[in-house]
Structures are given as structure tokens and as C-alpha cells.
Amino acid sequence: MKRDFDVIVVGAGINGLACGAYLARAGLDVAVAEARNECGPFALTEDLFGAGVPVDTHAGVCFITMSPVLGDLELDRFGLDLIFPRVPTGTVSKDGSNLIYYPDIERSCQEIARFSPRDARTYRETRQSILQRAVEILERGVFRAPSEEGLEYLWNLGSLVGFSPDDFRTMNGFEYLDLLFEHEKVKCSLLGQAAIGIFGDPSEKGEGAVMALMGQACSFAVPRGGMHTLVHALVRCFRHHGGTLLLNAPVEHVTFEAGRPTGVELAERTVLPERALRARHAVVMHVSPPVALQLLGDDPLQEHDRALWRKMNDWDMTGHCAFTSYALLRGPARWASRHWNPDIQECAFPLRAWDSWEHAKRSFQYAKNDEVFGVAGDVGEIYQLGAVDPSRVPASGETVLVYEVEYPVNMRRHGGLPAWDRREITDRLHDEHLQDLRDMIDDFDVDLIDSMYFTPIDNWRRNPSAVLGHELGGDVSGAQWYEGRMPNRSAIPGLYFSQGVWPCSLTHLGSAYTTACAIAADLEVRDQPWWKSAPMQRYLELMLEREQTAGGSA
């Protein structure tokens, strides 16, 4: 077993693997050490019900279509087969209506015009303006480490939709939508689209406006066979370029000499023959900041970068944490709103819409007040991926509907964190989710075979780095938004972070990209002929290739 490497990455989440793959492809000798026996703990695909239905148990759709990583690492070469849904996303209301968004702007505008012709015109103008600059927005605003210049760029995005930088920096997402749109159905729907982008909190000043705008620059695809195929593609890519993947290799602590990290010491329980691994140039922490602090130790950080130690010591791991319900159905869900627009049956990623604009505002306030039952089933992300991916539907026809709702995690009104293990509480929340689905799906109880759920604390048990069950490495809003995130490059030479950084650790692999860029620049290996993809570039190429293939077949 090798002991010496140029770079050691601690944690084999999808962003840790992608960071390692970039550096390995750039010619560095890289090891990724993972405590578990499996990579990508928040990108798992499992047969939860034993019914032969693959279910993504956390990340459900893949935002890598936005990312330069798809092209730079050529992940389609390594087995990532993306489905681009004809009907990607939309919102579903309990009153029997829906609002679906299509890749074609005009088709989306037709649906918006059913609620408000004026809003349809506004949507056309704003979305066209944003999409014309989408590559630049993603390149400068997302896939780049935070800076004062970058923050000014984000404030200046308001000019795309008619707002000055001073207005934009003091505006939240609610005011942004109020000023642009008139119909509450449209506003509720666009707020939902913004809320899943995870670029901040829509109810916060400044970041809320940025989030509402960026929601229209997001794109996604569905990995054929399940989200874990992304993990497999990253592992293949990393190993193809010479990377060393160490599973069952829990790191006990990072070793330091002369004020810089020199490697890691594995825990005694590791199955590997060597416990001491050396890093010649860099150690990358791809675990959440509280876990990273445990592994780094208080003393080295307080001695060499007290400001970083304070940030990590005070890091907020609450924010929104996912409670996910799973429903095994005899066949496809029969949405009540199919009578409004039947394309809801093919929609990969519908969201349950707020019942009204006042309901949306109240929901955000209840969440800030940590009122768990005040937001129970208020709004959630719904995945019906069997509608677009036949590999997720067995011959017998069963499907699984996934309903994910974000909750405040502290549970102080109910006795604290142990309340997440009290079935009278968690069963009640799960029942609220099922009732939501029952209100939106015809004959839901007739078709329901079984159901189950994972709480935030279940998620924490399944992924020890997800402290309190937080899937994004810590709250992404307020003091921890943009410049408040963890640094990719710390003030301690050789110490880097790819978790808790900007952008947050999602399936666009942005945190891997920004950290890999920093390390490669420092080690003078950034200038690579293959390291040049723009955001969305490979996605647009694949779309064109598939359209041409389909046209040739026709």
C-alpha cells in the first residue's frame, strides 16, 4: 500500500471525488480517504421496499448540466447517462391546477398566461434576458470562489430585470417577485423554483433577490438508473486518471509539521495495513466544518489561523434539513391536476406549491421560528423519476414517489434533538406528507402499497459528516452566505476545503470545481488543455447530439 501522495482528500462524497479527479487528471498523485465502505453517501440509489424499484434516497435530480465539470471530466465517457426530460419541472396545487415549465420558453409562457397574460410577458422578457447571460452568470456568480468583485457582480445582476444594484442588495425574493409578477399562483411557483436552487434564503435581503433570479438559470437532468451512477462515473474517472481510492479508511486526525498539514492518521479500526499517510503538498477537507474541526484539532488552527478556527467553531449546521417520505405505488401517480395540464404525468420533478402567497410568507416565518408543525407539509420537492426513466420501473409496474420537505431541525419545543426518534412526532410528520399527496393524487390510498421515511437524524446516522442531518455542509444563508462560506484556500499553507464552501455541495459539483481550481493554481498545474469547459457547454453539446441522432433515426 502506498503511503505518500501529493494530495489527500478526506471524504469521498461526490464533490470530494470530483476534486480528486480534477487533480489526478492534472497529473498529481491523489488519494481520497473515505470512512465508510461506500462513496457518495448523499447520492445513493437503493431498493428501499424490496420491490425492484431503484430509489434515490437523497439527491434526486442532477444539476451537473449547469456545470463545467461534466465536460472537463468527460463523465459521459465514464458511464453517466443523462436523461433530459421533455417535462422537467413545475408546481402542483391542491386546487387541481399546475404550472409546468418546459425547455421551450414559449410553451412555458402559454401555461403562465392561463393565470396572467401580463405575467407571461414578464416571464418571457426576464427569462430571455437571464438565459442570454446564463453562461456568464454561472461562470462568474457560481463556479468561482467568492470575492468582493464577485459580490458586486451578483448585485449588478438586478439590471437584467430592471433593478439597480442598491435596490437588488436590499431586496428579498418576495419583494423581487411582487415587483415583477401579479398573480399569486405564478409568484408561488417561481418562489418554489428559487427555493430549490440553494443559493441562499429567498426571505433574506440581497441573497433572496439573487436566489429568485438564479432560479431561472438552473437546469438539471436525470441520471439513467439512479443518482448513484454519478458516483460510479466519478470513481471510474478518478481511478482512470491514477487516483487512489481508500475505503474503510476513517481519518482520526490530520497531522501537522511547522504549521502546515503533512498528511492524515487513520483510525485504529481501519482495515488498511498503513495508518499514517503523507501529503506532500495539500490536504483537502471534504467533510462538514464541525467534523473537519475535530480532525484538524483546535490547537493548530488557533495557533496558525484563529479566524478560521472561530468560523468553524461557530459554524451553523441547522438551516433546512430534509425529512423525506417514500410511497410505493402500484403504478404511476394519477395527478388530479392532469385535467388542467396532462403533462404533469411526465413531469420528473414537480413541487407542491404553497396554497397562497400569504401561505408562502407565513411558511418562511414559521421556519425561522423553528415551528416544525407550523410548516409540516407546507411545500416539498416531489420526485417521480419513473415517469422519465424506464429503468426505475419493474415489469410489474410499481413506482416510488419521493416527497422531501425541509424542516427546522432543533426541535426545542418538543424536547430537543431526541424528539426526532419519537415515533408519535415523526409518524405525524410523515402522515402530513401522505395527506399532501392524497390531496393532489387521485385514488392515492387505493394505489399505495407501502410507505416509509428518513428523518434528518436518520440522514445524520447514514452520513456522519451531515451533522444534524444537514445535507449541504451547513446553513447557506445569512452570515454563511457567499463570502461567509468556508474558504477553498485557507491561510494555512496546504490546507483546503471543498465542503461548506461556495457554491454549496450539490450535484453540480461546484464546490469541487472551485477548490480544484485553487489547488491547481497553487501547485502550478492549472494550465491544462482539457480544463476549459464553460458552464452548460457539455450539456448543450449533448442536447444537440441527441437531437441530431433522433432526427437521423426519424
For residue range 39-50, list pLDDT tens digits in order: 999 999 999 999
Can the peptide bond before residue 503 be classed as cis, meaning omega within 30 degrees of 0? yes
In sequence order, which residues have a C-beta less than 8 Å from that of residue 256 and are 6 or more positions away?
262, 297, 300
The C-alpha atoms of residue 364 and residue 203 are separated, in whole angstroms, by: 7
370 confidence band (pLDDT: 50, 70, 90): very high
The answer to whether the CB of 480 falls within 8 A of the CB of 318 is: no
Residue 377 in this model has a pLDDT that exceeds 90: no
Mean pLDDT of 499-505: 93
Q: Can you give the pLDDT at residue 209?
A: 96
Q: Can you give the pLDDT at residue 428?
A: 97
Residue 185 in this model has a pLDDT that exceeds 60: yes
For residue range 445-480, list pLDDT tens digits in order: 999 999 999 999 999 999 999 999 998 889 999 999
Q: Can you give the pLDDT at residue 547?
A: 76
Share of the chain above pLDDT 90, in %: 91
Residue 231 in this model has a pLDDT that exceeds 50: yes
The C-alpha atoms of residue 94 and residue 441 are separated, in whole angstroms, by: 9
Task: Enter the C-alpha cell of residue 432.
Answer: 402530513
**280 or 504, greater pLDDT:** 280
pTM of the predicted protein model: 0.96
The answer to whether the CB of 317 falls within 8 A of the CB of 43 is: no
Residue 197 in this model has a pLDDT that exceeds 90: no
The answer to whether the CB of 244 falls within 8 A of the CB of 31 is: yes
Q: Can you give the pLDDT at residue 554?
A: 37
Q: Can you give the pLDDT at residue 60?
A: 86
Select from 3.30.465.10, 3.40.50.2300, 3.50.50.60, 3.10.129.10 the CATH code of 4-41+64-81+224-316+470-537. 3.50.50.60
How many other C-beta atoms can be found within 10 angstroms of the C-beta atom of residue 369? 12
Q: How far is CA 269 from CA 38, 413, 461, 510, in A?
A: 16, 39, 18, 33
Per-domain residue ranges of the chain: 4-41+64-81+224-316+470-537, 101-218, 320-463
Q: Which residue bears the cell 491514477?
A: 242
Task: Enter the C-alpha cell of residue 532.
Answer: 476549459
Mean pLDDT of 215-230: 92
The C-alpha atoms of residue 158 and residue 139 are separated, in whole angstroms, by: 17
Mean of the per-residue pLDDT values of the chain: 95
Q: Can you give the pLDDT at residue 552?
A: 55
The C-alpha atoms of residue 425 and residue 538 are separated, in whole angstroms, by: 45
Residue 147 in this model has a pLDDT that exceeds 70: yes
The answer to whether the CB of 501 falls within 8 A of the CB of 472 is: no
Mean pLDDT of 112-140: 96
Q: Can you give the pLDDT at residue 382?
A: 96
Mean pLDDT of 361-375: 94
In sequence order, which residues have a C-beta less than 8 Å from that of residue 194 and are 6 or more positions away?
173, 202, 211, 212, 214, 215
Mind spelling out the 3-state secondary structure of 31-82? EEECCCCCCCCCCCEECCCCCCCCEECCCCCEHHHHCCHHHHCCHHHHCCCE
Which residue in 99, 222, 179, 109 sits closest to 539, CA to CA? 222
Residue 553 in this model has a pLDDT that exceeds 60: no
For residue range 66-119, list pLDDT tens digits in order: 999 999 999 999 999 999 999 999 999 999 999 999 999 999 999 999 999 999
